[in-house]
Homo-oligomer: A and B are copies of this chain.
């Protein structure tokens, strides 16, 4: 997604940096190797529109406890410390754009009598490291420390002052609340409940609908246990505060509870908040199963160990800054989708259940391939979860959150995820069923608003071979469906379903039906809008939102938004034709031919990058910097990629070029730092100059694959030659199977472009 207006970086970095330095000094003094997890800086991407979640979290963890500073922040967090903290809710998304989702069950300490649910405080001394977050709430002089198990958040509230100490647990809080309840993408309150169960425990839930994906109602249940008895308590419903009342049943109003303690000063109160999507009892069970005791450090260390076991699979060498960027990128990639196995309130199944696909259009290109490389078993679980969703909800999701499909951005890109798994030979997936699920997308229109699931505009696509301007996002849909169809064809061919293969390999050429032979800025041929009758559409009518009703000429550089209509209603989603006209991952040679051959294509790519038509923050452009590979110029791919990373990625809080999109930006970066980049859905990686001196992949099957960049320096950024297992290796791509079987890929780096890898890419790798 596009970056949104962000906040300027501030003190927080130096604090985080300070922590790191202390840690480094400590480790240096003990002589112990630094844990890889210590390189993770959760604040990267927390400003400048990255929208990442900054609190503690296990890999793919269900609970994401962290500060909420704005109802309009999708992660809850706002880096600017002049924006107060409203509370700490237990469920968040990471890196997302659009309307918020979650932000449920908000905890907030306070001092004195509870007289209002509004307890916002300014902050200081904010610290975020992997598995840990702490902050000082200036208004209350309370330090809050948080760590997280899979489904349980653990808090320590240190009340510095003596007096009446309080903790609020708010079942009425959620992100994205709007005064107009049905406001587009606003979360909407449905109900809530709390009950104080004993002198140290309570439970309840919050029930919310809508939000980013216009989802059905979801319910977040909690069970909270304090490490000492309350000395007083109360609850509230709506505006009515009820001291001493234990129970508020759900009558469609906001409820919550407040608990009092005596603080002698510098007094720590611990709280465990178990979360469940099933029931409060299940949330309580989750506490018993995951965090039976009160050892904060142990829970923190368990989270770190889980991450470390993943990071251990990709041991890299580089500068501390590079390592910070790299491991933080891996971290961001594995925050979502969320493993909710055993927490699915919608159906009973012994298969894994994942939620928060946000969206596959964003993640299929680099997130899923990175998970496949590091943790293929996890990817098998995720694909099986997708198929399980198809079985029970009827369609594979593109977007899914709050247990509901919704917000299909481009097309039915789960096809690419399945094909990627199939082509990389992941075992433990019923590919016959997967093919049926993909065919559902390709054959059965989803109906209604056509943005919940499946393929919007499918009736056009299957009749005309393109989506006409009768439908929104017609350009994006046509381009994505063409590639999705290629992915179906691959799987069908592999399964011996040749008639299906023939249909879909033919349809994978559908992008050509929107290829219009016009010139723009020296390049010829663009994907342009066409109406149902087959006539090209030269202009479109603006909506009247901006108080004018004018026709806008559609050119390859036209952006519908903010000029006129929203991205959702435009011809391309978050893109111009310059961008999507280069998106033909199924057949780049044919694209090159259409563009007028190698020279014209090179010039076109140069124009694209030099004129700033490229957008690092938009996923459809992810492959574009590598397209030089197909004209035998991987050196130019490397140069462009390096320019992008140098310009748009840093280890600072604003170090991501836009919404991280569930790790999309981060995983793109991580691949390129290693020097390989996938063409998702196909079984190979393109090779570009690594940023890291060394990458050692400890593969799940036991093999080890090493990528070594000899003589790599700030100047020596071009591959001069390469060997694989000691033998000369002159192709600028490598098959997935050649990585997973283990080996050593060595690059000799030098300061200038070389002829290495000028072997033209073969058109397909089937």
Which residues on A are within 8 Å of B, measured CB to CB?
Answer: 181, 188-191, 193, 195, 205, 207, 209, 216-217, 219, 247, 249-252, 278-279, 281-282, 284-285, 342, 345-348, 394-395, 444-450, 454, 459
Contacts and interface: CB of A to CB of B under 8 A. Distances in A.
A205 B216 CA distance: 20
A189 B348 contact: yes
Nearest to A459: B459
B447 A454 contact: yes
A678 B279 CA distance: 48
5 contacts: A190-B345, A193-B279, A209-B347, A217-B347, A447-B447
Contacts of A181: 348
Contact of A281 (B195, B281, B345, B445): B195
Contact of A348 (B191, B193, B394, B450): B191
A736 B193 CA distance: 47
Contact of A342 (B251, B282, B450): B251
Contacts of A445: 445, 447
B346 A250 contact: no
A83 B726 CA distance: 80
A275 to B, nearest CB: 14
Given A190-B348, A247-B281, A446-B448, 18 more contacts: A181-B348, A189-B348, A190-B346, A190-B347, A191-B278, A191-B279, A193-B282, A209-B346, A216-B216, A219-B345, A249-B279, A249-B285, A251-B282, A252-B342, A394-B448, A444-B447, A447-B447, A448-B454
A687 B148 CA distance: 73
Given A347-B209, A394-B449, A250 B282 contact: yes
Given A394-B449, A444-B447, A448-B447, A281 B348 contact: no
A285 B191 CA distance: 15
Nearest to A349: B252
Contacts of A250: 278-279, 281-282
Contacts of A448: 394-395, 444, 446-447, 454
The A contact surface, by secondary structure, is loop
B191 A345 contact: yes
Nearest to A207: B345
A207 to B, nearest CB: 7
Contacts of A284: 249
A205 B284 CA distance: 16
Copies of this chain in its oligomeric complex: 2
A224 to B, nearest CB: 16
B346 A217 contact: yes
Nearest to A440: B448
Contacts of A444: 447-449
Contacts of A348: 181, 188-191, 252
Contacts of A191: 278-279, 345, 348
A292 B409 CA distance: 53
Contacts of A281: 193, 195, 247, 249-250
Contact of A216 (B279, B285, B346): B346
A252 B348 CA distance: 6
Contacts of A251: 282, 285, 342
A213 to B, nearest CB: 14
Contact of A345 (B195, B217, B282): B217
A284 B284 CA distance: 21
A423 B612 CA distance: 62
5 closest A-B pairs by beta carbon, nearest first, are A447-B447, A249-B281, A446-B447, A249-B285, A217-B346
Nearest to A288: B249
A249 B274 CA distance: 14
A665 to B, nearest CB: 33
Among A251, A444, A447: residue with most chain B CB under 10 A: A447
A446 B394 CA distance: 13
A573 to B, nearest CB: 20
A411 B480 CA distance: 34
Contacts of A195: 281
A597 B284 CA distance: 75
A347 B215 CA distance: 11
Nearest to A252: B348
A342 B250 CA distance: 10
A219 B205 CA distance: 15
A282 B346 CA distance: 21
Contacts of A216: 216, 346
Contacts of A446: 447-448
Contacts of A447: 444-448, 450, 454
Contacts of A209: 346-347
A156 to B, nearest CB: 27
Contacts of A252: 342, 348
A285 B249 CA distance: 7
A200 to B, nearest CB: 17
A190 B346 CA distance: 7
Contacts of A449: 394, 444
A433 to B, nearest CB: 13
A395 B447 CA distance: 11
Contacts of A450: 447
Contacts of A346: 190, 209, 216-217
A402 to B, nearest CB: 12
A762 to B, nearest CB: 39
B454 A205 contact: no
